[in-house]
Amino acid sequence: MHRGRKLAAPEGMATRPMTDRVRENLFNILAGRIEGAVVLDLFCGSGAIGLEALSRGAHLCHFVDTSPDAIRTVEINAAHLCLGGKVRITKGDALAPGDWLAAPEDKSYTLVFADPPYKLTADRPGRKRLAEMAARLVRLGLVADGATAMLRTQRGTAMDESWPGFELTDERTYGTTTLWLMDYKRVTAKQNTVEGNRKSKIKNQK
């Protein structure tokens, strides 16, 4: 359901749609960060998370998924909610370089939602691939300073692969789902130089 409207879901997919209660709690946490946001919804499935952001005042949302069924479903749901003018939908693999690595309107993303299959986050190699995905976004300048990212995993999953430039700020568990919230702080060249000098000084003192 999306504010009283039933959303279509991709057919034949083993999706784990976020429940209304979890989604409501997520957006309560993000209150104040939605208005005017530029959103990236990765592993988007039906698009429910990104569409919720748009309905709450986000400026636009870029939806990415590998499944043609998911892409068609997002198109249907966006049209049903009259949000078609605020969406960009790309069939692509969020874990690999591709056409999806171009922010709409040349804007950096201020909100990043990642809802990968649980099997991807179940082991450390999968979590490392997600961290590499985040690093690629940062390296290409697609993440705005102060942006917030949300990663959804199964309850009990370890967050042992940090996302470069992101600081873990919150962790919420609802039933079998855990939401990890992170904020991004861009590091300038000057800050890199200062940090490098600090580390060199410490090393020389040993």
Instruction: Spell out the SS3 assignment of 32-65.
Output: CCCCCCEEEEECCCCCHHHHHHHHCCCCEEEEEE
Q: How confident is the model at residue 193 (pLDDT cuts 50, 70, 90)?
A: very low
Per-residue pLDDT of 33-61, as tens digits, reads 999 999 999 999 999 999 999 999 999 99
d(CA 137, CA 115): 16
Residue 202 pLDDT greater than 50, yes or no: no
d(CA 183, CA 175): 24
Q: Do 63 and 85 meet the contact criterion of CB atoms below 8 Å apart?
A: no
d(CA 51, CA 48): 5
Domains of the chain by start residue, with CATH: 20-205 (3.40.50.150)
The residue-averaged pLDDT of 115-122 equals 94
Q: Do 16 and 73 meet the contact criterion of CB atoms below 8 Å apart?
A: no
Q: Do 66 and 42 meet the contact criterion of CB atoms below 8 Å apart?
A: no
The count of C-alpha atoms lying within 13 angstroms of the C-alpha of 155, restricted to the half-sphere facing its C-beta, is: 6
The confidence score (pLDDT) of residue 137 equals: 97
Helix (H) or strand (E) holding 197: helix 189-205
Residue 120 pLDDT greater than 50, yes or no: yes
Tracing tokens 């499935």 back to the chain, one arrives at 45
Q: Which of 97, 104, 190 is nearest to 139 (CA)?
A: 97
